Chain A
Amino acid sequence: MNGNHQARLMELFELAADLPAAEQAAFVAEHCGDNAELASRLHSLLAHDARQATALDDVDPQALTSVLREAVPSAILDNQVVGAYRVERLIGTGGMGRVYLARHLDVDTEHRVAIKFVRPDRLEPNVLARFSREWRVLASLQHPGISTFVDTGALADGTPYVVMEYVEGEPLFDYCRDRNLGIRDRLQLLRKVVAAVAHAHSRLVVHRDIKASNVLVNAEGEVKLLDFGIAKSLSEVDNSMTATSERFLTPINAAPELLHGEPTGTGCDIYALGVLAYELLSGHPPLKFDGLLGAQIERLILSVPPPPMSQLVAGDDDAAHERGLENGTELARRLRGDLDAIVSRCLRKSPSDRYITALELDADIERHLDQLPIRARHGDRLYRFGRLVARHRVAVSLSAALLVSLLGSTIISALQSAELARQRNLAVTERDHAQQVVQVLRDAFQYADPARAAGDEVSARQILDAARPRLDGLVDSQPHQFALLADTLSGVELALGAEAQAAELAQRGLAAIATDNHDPLLLRRLRLTTARALTGVGDLEHAEALLDEVRRSDNALQPDWAVARARIAINRLPETEMAVDLLRQAEAMILDQPADDELATDVRWQLAEALRINHRYDEALVVLDAMLDWQQAQLDEDHPRLVLTRLRRFAVMASGEIDEARLPELRAVAEQLIQYYGGDSSMAGTVQNIFGNTLRAAGHTDAAIEQFRMAWNAWRKSLGDDHANTLRLGANLATVLAEQPDSQDEAMSMFREIVPHVEKRFGAQRPMTVYLRSQWARLLGSKGLWREALAVMAQIDADLAPADRGSPTSRTFQASVLSQVLAENHCHRLNSDEAVSAACQNAAEQLRRLQSAE
């Protein structure tokens, strides 16, 4: 349309727009005359004008805001006002966040505080939850040896912060070294730390991160224990704290039970005090981690007892001099005996073998200073005996006993609620037992083959198909039983990637119990399964409606609901951030699940995916890395879930800004994975596909083609020409070849070869088929074979049901190809030939339908 027409379009639109709808058609006919294009445009504009909501009406200010925010780099905190304080400067960076010095806004007060902001990538829901429930407890800690808690809050973006008393002082070790403090003085300082810890324990607060850098000594020689930032309230008997979910624990002071994910109590602080004492007295850490890998460090912490201090220092004259002693031998003599015993008792692997309370530890140090016999050594024999008996003692009971001994009756309510929770869990377990049997089966299907290599090729398909008739027989006679099996089997279908079948089956299951609602749990599960299957086939609205019903009957947010809802959100552009929020919340609820728990695994995978979709690749990597730790600690090295997590991790690494400098690293990881699984394996093909995509995004089309070609070959060799993924990879190769002018001929022959297979394999109506056909049509069009191109598009049109032109995305894509083909070939002008004219008109009509489809 030329400029004159355009101007005329606006003029006519304004005249026609105010006419009654009934008169508009006549107006258009009268004023556009034989200019069919102008008439068609005007019609279209008037149709849009009449609609309630158009793209422009839907502009979401929030969406604009979030893009704008993303468009500018993130900010720093200097000079920001937080609560009653103005942030002055960064004074420290810890594992969990940054600490800023801040001053009270009221200039008259000299009140300075330290504000600790949790790092955004540490902003996990468990951290948030802990912050919010702990501030009261923290506020109750008033002790000269503990830096006072002032306030807590969160910035509007959710970043939580804690305001603490600002302590000026020297780190403990520096203080001692600079003054050449002897063992006795060091022990006096240690006792002050122990007293502070004992105070916290008496308030049911465990520090959990006691270490030298958290202990400052001020000018008066008083110690201050900092950073109750990750302190955990003991009143919540809680075994959710695992090494993997709390990766920012400093390993050197981490007690063995932290690595086990066992319930943690005051024992881990006793252990950490032991670590502190060891180095304070001897100048050496109890265990040396230098150059060791995670698993080796873990082994050290879990099973290697530290050597007695006196052994280490025997040759260390420097350490001796720093402690005002002549030589290492003298220092060794000073440490041998009582002090070795006291410290090693703190460092026992099992919490029950350590001092039970900080007060006991303090008492032994005091006795040693007073040259009285200490308890630790008396306990040695008992300790050895006790170790045998107590090796397998249930840790929970220990925690309970510990609580009672600490606080007497005040904690009984906490214990009671813990017991109630346990009983509730038992009941759920009973109920789910039958389900779990089938779950095993489902898992077998799902994880028999991590790369979905055999996928729907395996006999699972046949098993399922064979099960159908028998299943159908149950619908009327035993609807409940039918629904139960429908749920399970649609879960299997989902595991096989057959979402459409899963959706159909699950919906039939729902229908079967529609009138009989005596099993609300089954109803809930079926709704969740159905919603997931519907999400898989792209029917997000119905999926959401089902989930809304589930949510209405759930009392609180449930992790399985959250992950189902997040799947929808991930597939909806405006909701992708909501997906992250939901999954973070879900994650907080599944922290204590073992690595073979399906839901816990799914929540984390989806969380990583949601972060990836939101371009928060670093955070996605943090999630997946933590997952790897979690899975490696509990699963076999080649467990399918581990493999899948590695694959996802690679996919995340390959996402995002494609920095040229990162390509070699990615290539290395890809090659490592390929080497591990074999060059012709489906896993190799999967990795090559991802890497090919990355190379292509980075503009290395030739290298990308090479990867896609290898990927295609790997899948062909391992699973045959007709496997769904082989076809997908063939489609990728053809698509990328089509982008390079000099390989378009090859692309053409690939499309010709592959498209019929895809049609046969996926069916003509599947989005995959529609997409590939559209791509082919585009290539045909750009090669001037526009009649053939239009024929392909017409075939798409004919194969799709009249009411369904595909998803909005698919429609948009089809429309763009059609208009491109039409535009490139000036279809409307070539109307001398009748057949051509008909093809063009049909195409224009098809385009119009696509554009007006709701």
Chain B
Amino acid sequence: MAVPEITQLLHAWRDGDRSVENDLVALIYPLLRNMSVEQLRRNRASTTLRATELVHEAYERLHRQQGVDWQNRQHFLAIAATVIRRVLVDHLRQRSTTKRGGEAVVLALDSDLAEELPQPAAGLDWVALDQALSELEKIEPNCVKVVEMRVFAGLGVDQVAETLGISTATVGRLWRFARAYLADHLGN
């Protein structure tokens, strides 16, 4: 991995240049993916693969082993949350396309009701959430960051506030809007 490149991008990102975010994500994605594999291998006993642990550990590793100069681990956490969102959604998207081709569903013969239609969003529809987040991004990117860090990296409100350099009250405000907005978009 091109460590200087990461450092450089991260500095740019910290200084407010959001255009580097995609590049950062692209660089960190493989790292996190490998790490999650390793985490499973090392810790197969635990069926949990906790996003929070993964993110923190990824930071430790970059910091300790690769000497990435990150003034502040929080910057990494913010990016990593985005990465986890991508890992998940990419996987689910691939899974759903391999499963049923296009959007339309082919009816199974003698099908039970549930087989006739696309799976209901009984749990959260991550792919739909992803799309809704992309829409939300156009309104207020920080709303998306808050959601990503809380949902995908499992960070608490305090950590989110610290990471984004905003007050917890603001985090609450952003969360409240995101919550209503996403519920509206996800149609529930």
Q: Which residues of A contact B (CB under 8 A)?
A: 3, 6-7, 9-10, 13-14, 17, 41, 44-46, 48-49, 51, 54-61, 63-65, 67-80, 82, 155-157, 159, 451-452, 455, 497, 499, 535-538, 570-574, 615, 655-658, 686, 689, 692-693, 696-699, 704, 708, 724-725, 728-729, 731-732, 735-736, 738-739, 767-768, 771, 775, 807-813, 815, 850-851
CB of B44 within 8 A of CB of A69, answer no
13 contacts between A and B (CB under 8 A): A48-B183, A54-B180, A55-B182, A67-B126, A77-B44, A157-B44, A573-B122, A689-B108, A697-B97, A807-B117, A811-B187, A812-B121, A851-B188
Residues of A contacting B48 with CB < 8 Å?
65, 69
Expressed in whole angstroms, the Cα–Cα distance for A327 and B40 within the complex equals 58
CB of A810 within 8 A of CB of B117, answer yes
Q: Is B163 an interface residue (CB 8 A)?
A: no
Q: Is B106 an interface residue (CB 8 A)?
A: yes
Residues of B contacting A738 with CB < 8 Å?
104
Residues of A contacting B108 with CB < 8 Å?
689, 728
CB of B91 within 8 A of CB of A155, answer no
CB of B186 within 8 A of CB of A728, answer no
Expressed in whole angstroms, the Cα–Cα distance for A72 and B138 within the complex equals 31
CB of A7 within 8 A of CB of B139, answer yes
Nearest-neighbor residue (CB-CB) of B97 within chain A: A697
- Interchain nearest-CB distance for B43 vs A (Å): 8
CB of A68 within 8 A of CB of B51, answer yes
Expressed in whole angstroms, the Cα–Cα distance for A68 and B103 within the complex equals 23
Q: Is B98 an interface residue (CB 8 A)?
A: yes
Expressed in whole angstroms, the Cα–Cα distance for A724 and B99 within the complex equals 25
Expressed in whole angstroms, the Cα–Cα distance for A69 and B124 within the complex equals 17
Interface-side segment among B11-19, B64-72, B171-179:
B171-179
- Interface size in chain B (residues, C-beta < 8 A): 71
CB of A72 within 8 A of CB of B180, answer no
Q: Is B116 an interface residue (CB 8 A)?
A: yes
Q: Is B23 an interface residue (CB 8 A)?
A: no
CB of B139 within 8 A of CB of A455, answer no
Expressed in whole angstroms, the Cα–Cα distance for A74 and B119 within the complex equals 25
Q: Is B26 an interface residue (CB 8 A)?
A: no
Expressed in whole angstroms, the Cα–Cα distance for A725 and B98 within the complex equals 25
Residues of B contacting A452 with CB < 8 Å?
109-110
Q: Mark B111-141, 1 if CB is under 8 A from A, else 0.
A: 1111011111111111001000000001110
Residues of A contacting B117 with CB < 8 Å?
767, 771, 807, 809-810, 813
Task: A13-B177, A538-B113, A851-B184 given; name 19 further pairs at CB < 8 Å.
Answer: A6-B139, A10-B140, A14-B177, A48-B180, A56-B182, A56-B183, A59-B151, A65-B50, A75-B41, A80-B41, A452-B110, A657-B98, A693-B106, A728-B109, A731-B107, A736-B106, A811-B187, A813-B117, A813-B118
Nearest-neighbor residue (CB-CB) of B117 within chain A: A809
Expressed in whole angstroms, the Cα–Cα distance for A807 and B118 within the complex equals 11
Residues of A contacting B92 with CB < 8 Å?
67
Q: Is B152 an interface residue (CB 8 A)?
A: yes
Expressed in whole angstroms, the Cα–Cα distance for A82 and B42 within the complex equals 11
CB of A851 within 8 A of CB of B187, answer yes
- Interchain nearest-CB distance for A78 vs B (Å): 7
CB of A775 within 8 A of CB of B104, answer yes
Residues of A contacting B119 with CB < 8 Å?
573, 809
A80-B123 contact in complex given A10-B139, A67-B91, A68-B49, C-beta closer than 8 Å: no
Nearest-neighbor residue (CB-CB) of A815 within chain B: B187
Q: Is B100 an interface residue (CB 8 A)?
A: yes
* Chain A interface mostly: helix
Expressed in whole angstroms, the Cα–Cα distance for A49 and B182 within the complex equals 10
CB of B113 within 8 A of CB of A155, answer no
- Interchain nearest-CB distance for A43 vs B (Å): 10
Task: Give the interface centre of A68, A571, A656, A689 by most chain B CB atoms within 10 Å.
Answer: A68
Residues of A contacting B121 with CB < 8 Å?
55, 573, 808-809, 812
* Chain B interface mostly: helix
Residues of B contacting A574 with CB < 8 Å?
122-123
CB of A55 within 8 A of CB of B183, answer yes
Nearest-neighbor residue (CB-CB) of B140 within chain A: A10
CB of A61 within 8 A of CB of B176, answer no
Residues of B contacting A14 with CB < 8 Å?
173, 177
CB of B42 within 8 A of CB of A54, answer no
CB of B116 within 8 A of CB of A49, answer no
Task: Give the interface centre of A3, A71, A724, A850 by most chain B CB atoms within 10 Å.
Answer: A71
Nearest-neighbor residue (CB-CB) of A2 within chain B: B138
A73-B87 contact in complex given A80-B42, A807-B113, A808-B121, C-beta closer than 8 Å: no
- Interchain nearest-CB distance for A451 vs B (Å): 8
User: Of the candidates B109, B112, B177, which one forms a contact with A10 in the assembled complex, judged by CB atoms under 8 Å apart?
Assistant: B177
User: Of the candidates B46, B114, B178, which one forms a contact with A156 in the assembled complex, judged by CB atoms under 8 Å apart?
Assistant: B46
CB of A768 within 8 A of CB of B116, answer yes
CB of A72 within 8 A of CB of B110, answer no
Expressed in whole angstroms, the Cα–Cα distance for A9 and B100 within the complex equals 36
CB of A71 within 8 A of CB of B138, answer no
- Interchain nearest-CB distance for A52 vs B (Å): 11
Q: Is B147 an interface residue (CB 8 A)?
A: yes
Q: Mark B44-83, 1 if CB is under 8 A from A, else 0.
A: 1111111100000000000000000000000000000000
Nearest first, the 5 A-B pairs at minimum CB distance are A75-B41, A54-B183, A809-B120, A71-B91, A48-B183
Nearest-neighbor residue (CB-CB) of B41 within chain A: A75
Expressed in whole angstroms, the Cα–Cα distance for A571 and B105 within the complex equals 16
CB of B124 within 8 A of CB of A63, answer yes
User: Of the candidates B36, B95, B106, B177, which one forms a contact with A68 in the assembled complex, judged by CB atoms under 8 Å apart?
Assistant: B36
Expressed in whole angstroms, the Cα–Cα distance for A807 and B181 within the complex equals 23
Expressed in whole angstroms, the Cα–Cα distance for A17 and B173 within the complex equals 10
Expressed in whole angstroms, the Cα–Cα distance for A54 and B121 within the complex equals 12
Expressed in whole angstroms, the Cα–Cα distance for A76 and B40 within the complex equals 8
Task: Give the interface centre of B110, B139, B183 by most chain A CB atoms within 10 Å.
Answer: B183
Expressed in whole angstroms, the Cα–Cα distance for A573 and B186 within the complex equals 16
CB of B120 within 8 A of CB of A807, answer yes
CB of A75 within 8 A of CB of B44, answer yes
Task: Give the interface centre of B44, B46, B179 by most chain A CB atoms within 10 Å.
Answer: B44
CB of B113 within 8 A of CB of A537, answer yes
Q: Is B88 an interface residue (CB 8 A)?
A: yes
A656-B114 contact in complex given A72-B40, A732-B106, C-beta closer than 8 Å: no
CB of A46 within 8 A of CB of B180, answer yes
A697-B120 contact in complex given A46-B180, A67-B88, A571-B114, C-beta closer than 8 Å: no
